[in-house]
Structure 1
Amino acid sequence: MSYQQKFSVWRGDSDGGDFVEYDVEVNEGEVVLDVVHRLQATEAPDLAVRWNCKAGKCGSCSAEINGRPRLMCMTRMSTLPQDTTVSITPMRTFPVIRDLVTDVSFNYEKAREVRAFVPPADLAPGEYRMQQVDVERSQEFRKCIECFLCQNTCHVVRDHEENKLAFSGPRFLMRVAELDMHPLDAAEDQEGLNRKAAAQDEHGLGYCNITKCCTEVCPEHIKITDNALIPLKERVVDLKFDPMFIRRRKRKSKEKEQVSEEG
């Protein structure tokens, strides 16, 4: 069974653009990316679109469909109303390169700012041992396909350009949370890097007001807010304001100073 569907696709580049209307054939079982490919083959061969796997695993085909950030390859046409025009626009948060393709380099810059896992000095890679509960706790975060839909929909960066320097966004705060939860990460012992303090001071955790919009658009159904950001905020509060934590931190600092002086 096939039918004709009206589409309104944003066409343009960094200098500006506008919506162009198309009437495209849709077949049973197709997704939005199928229709975009048909559109390229029949009416708009110069339409720019980024895609790769068409299986919801590469995160390349992120766009906004009827105003909602989604993967085009995972949005079935059967879920969209046939009697209205379907709009397809590039992700709003990032600069447009051309048509549906945006410049997502902001995310790679933020990724480089998250300091990597620091292995324990006394263990070789094959000697790492973790409790299964710790493995399962962070495994959810490793499902991320870096589609950057969470980054796109986060209003802290979406609506406030001035925040982009100070705020890493949910995807990379989730990475910081994962490293902070990792029982073998020795960043603090070996490099003096406190992941919780870094989340607040370097990655802008305080800007996040846990609206859960990032969780709502995640195609991998990662509970970014509940399982990463809120627990990280709770640990930061302990670090910054709990008197017992503050006293313990001061005591450790004095002990390190004494060891240094004796050495």
Structure 2
Amino acid sequence: MGYKAKFKVWRGDASGGDLQDFTVEVNEGEVVLDVIHRLQATQAPDMAVRWNCKAGKCGSCSAEINGRPRLMCMTRMSVFAEDETVTVTPMRTFPVIRDLVTDVSYNYEKAREVPAFAPPEGVAPGEYRMQQVDVERSQEFRKCIECFLCQNTCHVVRDHEDNKANFSGPRFLMRIAELDMHPLDAHENRAQEAKTDHGLGFCNITKCCTEVCPEHIKITDNALIPMKERVADHYYDPILRLFKRSKK
């Protein structure tokens, strides 16, 4: 059974905009992205929205739905009451291009700053060998679809624009943690670089990034906290400091 739903969708561009009211048909089993597409087809053909797979795997359709960062294709209309107004706005942390489309180039800039995996010397591709436990340890982080919802909800950059220059955000700190855990990665000092170059110290482990992850990656518990522990060991462990001093 279908029904008429009330929607408020943000319309505008970099110069400004506002919420626009719509009443639109909703059918059983639909998700928010279905409704946005129906609005495009019937009432707002010029509405801009980014999407691709509609299967929760491309990470393109990130938005804020009733104030919560979500994927539109994975947010079922059945979670809302039929008389509830559904508000859809662009991700707040990134500059608006138009309507629900934001400029997420900040994330690609941060991605380029993370040194790539460095293979060990003398080991050719195809000859890498790892224990299964090491494979499983970092496999979780490879489920990331780069929807950037964790980046969007992280208050370090969400509420403090000036932090963007010095903070890579949870998605890329997680990438550094993954590489640091890799037993074959020959790049030295990833944990230290996380502190000095990527702003790990800004993270105060509120777990808001973990809460919005559509892949249910435990970003804080399994990546950021272990990375912080390794940084603390490197810089502040008294026994390790004594050992380093004795080698000089």
TM superposition score normalised by structure 1: 0.93
CA distance, structure 1, for counterparts of residue 37 and residue 62 of structure 2: 15
In 2, Cα distance between the equivalents of 1:174 and 1:160? 21
Give the aligned partner of residue 260 of structure 1.
none
Deviations 1:77-111 (CA, angstroms, capped at 9, x unpaired): 00112212100000000000000000000000000
User: What's the CA shift for 1:247?
Assistant: 3.5
**Greater CA drift, 95-104 or 123-132:** 123-132
Which ranges of structure 2 fall in alignment gaps of 5 or more residues?
A: none
1:196 is aligned to 191
Query: 1:249, CA displacement in angstroms?
Result: 3.8
For structure 1, the 5+ residue unaligned runs are 189-193, 255-263
CA distance in 1, matches of 2:184, 2:246: 23
- Corresponding residue of 1:128: 128
Q: In structure 1, what is the Cα distance between the partners aligned to 2:240 and 2:196?
A: 18
- Computed over aligned residues only, the root mean square deviation of the Cα atoms, in angstroms, reads 0.9
In 2, the alpha carbon distance for the partners of 1:95 and 1:41 equals 26
Moved over 6 A (4+): none
Task: Give the aligned partner of residue 83 of structure 1.
Answer: 83
Distance 2:242 2:122 in 1: 28
In structure 2, what is the Cα distance between the partners aligned to 1:41 and 1:196? 49
Return closer, same or farther for 1:238/1:158 CA change in 2, 3 Å cut-off: same
**Aligned partner (choices 219, 226, 236) of residue 231 of structure 1:** 226
* 1:156 and 2:156 correspond: yes
> Which of structures 1 and 2 has the bigger CA Rg?
1
Equivalent position of 1:242 in the other structure: 237
Which one-letter code corresponds to 2:136 in the other structure?
E
Q: Does 1:205 align with 2:200?
A: yes
Q: Can you list the C-alpha shifts for 1:204-251, whole angstroms capped at 9, x where unaligned?
A: 000000000000000000000000000000110000001222244455
- Match in the other structure for 2:217: 222
* Residue 127 of structure 1: how far off its partner (Å): 1.0
Name 1:69's counterpart in structure 2.
69
1:259: which partner in 2? none
Query: 3-state DSSP class of the match of 2:151?
Result: helix
Aligned to 2:16: 16
Aligned ranges 1:10-49 → 2 under 5 Å: 10-49=10-49
TM-score (normalizing by structure 2): 0.98
For 2:145, give the aligned amino acid.
Answer: I
Query: Using the alignment, how far apart are the partners of 1:248 and 1:186 within structure 2?
Result: 22
Letter in 2 for 1:210: I
Q: Find the aligned partners of 2:44 and 2:244 in 1 and give their Cα distance.
A: 62
Name the counterpart of 1:261.
none
Q: Secondary structure at the match of 1:219?
A: coil
CA–CA distance in structure 1, aligned partners of residues 194 and 41 of structure 2: 46
For 2:55, the equivalent position in structure 1 comes to 55
**CA displacement at 1:119 relative to structure 2:** 0.3
Instruction: After superposition, give the CA deviation of every residue in 1:97-152 in whole Å (9 maximum; x if it has no partner).
Output: 00000000000000000001100002111111101000000000000000000000
* Aligned amino acid, residue 161 of structure 2: E
One-letter code of the match for 1:135?
A: V
Tell me the number of residue pairs that the alignment of Structure 1 and Structure 2 aligns: 248
Match for 1:23: what amino acid?
T
Aligned-partner Cα distance in 2 for 1:85–1:63: 16
* 1:251–1:186 CA distance, 2 compared to 1 (3 A): farther
